Amino acid sequence: MIAVLYPLYFVAIASVSDPNAINGGRVWFFPDQFTLEGYRNILKTDAIWIGYRNTLLYMSIGTLINVAMTLTGAYPLSRKDFYGRNAFMIMITFTMFFSGGLIPTYLLIKKLHLIHTMWALILPGAVSVWNLIVTRTFFQHMIPGELRDAAAIDGCSDFGFFVRIVLPLSKAITAVMVLFYGVSHWNAFFGALIYLNDERMYPLQLILRNILLQNEVQETLNLGQGGEARNMAETIKYGVIIVASLPVLVLYPFVQKYFAKGVMIGSLKG
């Protein structure tokens, strides 16, 4: 626990400590010469706000597409009366272990005219095979066949059964998928690094990566030259980590109970 928590604690106290104290190794357990100058520079930097806006946009649209496709894909695969479902699962699972690689994927995205668009970050990973398998297992064991038979007797179609009965009974796994996909989009930067060239479209994590690279701090934040700028960059480095992690830390407590329930059901049964 100490090995995991202390680095997080150190980042928090370093973000509000004097840069000279950090570089001098005087920051261990408490902030040294408390200052919020790093956060002031972060909050007045346009790149940070642009990154926040882009990441929230990509995360919102991407998570909506991810959850919709995962639920609608997992449900028919969980039905025993779906002919050929095992063959489909074999083909889908195969893609989890083997892929075309980076260069063929890039050429495919280019042929689809998705380069320099947000869809290059969303559509290639629209469905996670692992999440699909977990969701399918949830449907298999939490939606009894007798419930479907009763709905069919009342004249309910398959689509109506899915929308009116299955989805309301699947709040736990839906919350888990929202958490999984949302965090994945929030932390993603490699796709943007490969497919985007316009800095105005960069997500927050790619901007964070540029800030953490010392040779790009001056250009990214326009802090000027000299030792003072390098010291301020040290404080900003820790502050940006806090700023970038805060939304996920705020969201997690609200979905924690669904997270534990959904993952246990989807992973231990079946």
* Distance set, CA 255 to CA 128, 172, 182, 183, 258 (Å): 20, 9, 12, 12, 5
Position 270 confidence tier, pLDDT thresholds 50, 70, 90: very low
pLDDT in tens, 11-55: 888 888 877 777 677 777 887 778 777 788 777 778 888 888 999
Block residue for tokens 């009974």: 169
Residue whose token pair is 């050429």:
107
Whole-number pLDDT of residue 31: 79
pLDDT category of residue 73 using cuts at 50, 70 and 90: very high
Nearest to 203 by CA among 76, 47, 93, 31: 47
What tokens were used for 92? 């889908």
The residue type of 144 is P
pLDDT tens digits for 207-264?
877 776 754 555 455 555 555 556 666 677 778 788 778 777 777 777 677 666 655 6
Residues 136, 170, 70, CA angle at the centre, nearest 5°? 45
All domains in the chain, ordered by first residue = 1-35 (no CATH), 46-268 (1.10.3720.10)
Instruction: Look at residue 152 in the predicted model and tell me its pLDDT.
Output: 85
* pLDDT band for position 57 (cuts 50, 70, 90): very high
For residue range 160-209, list pLDDT tens digits in order.
Answer: 888 888 888 888 888 888 888 988 898 888 889 899 888 888 998 888 77
3-31 in b/e burial notation, b at 16+ Cβ within 10 A? eeeeeeebebbbbbbbbebbeeeebeeeb
Question: Do you know the residue count of the chain?
Answer: 270
Q: Tell me if 131 sits within 8 A of 71, measured CB to CB.
A: no
Indicate the DSSP class of residue 248.
Answer: H
Amino acid 219: pLDDT: 45
- The dihedral through the CA atoms of 118, 119, 124, 127 has a sign that is positive
Measure CA of the first residue to CA of the last residue in the chain; give whole Å.
Answer: 32
| Residue 88 confidence class, pLDDT cut points 50, 70, 90 | very high
Residues 6+ apart with CB under 8 A from 188: 58, 121, 203, 205
Query: Minimum mean pLDDT among 32-46, 108-122, 130-144, 210-224: which range?
Result: 210-224
Does the pTM surpass 0.95? The reply is no
Distance of CA 162 to the CA centre of its chain: 27
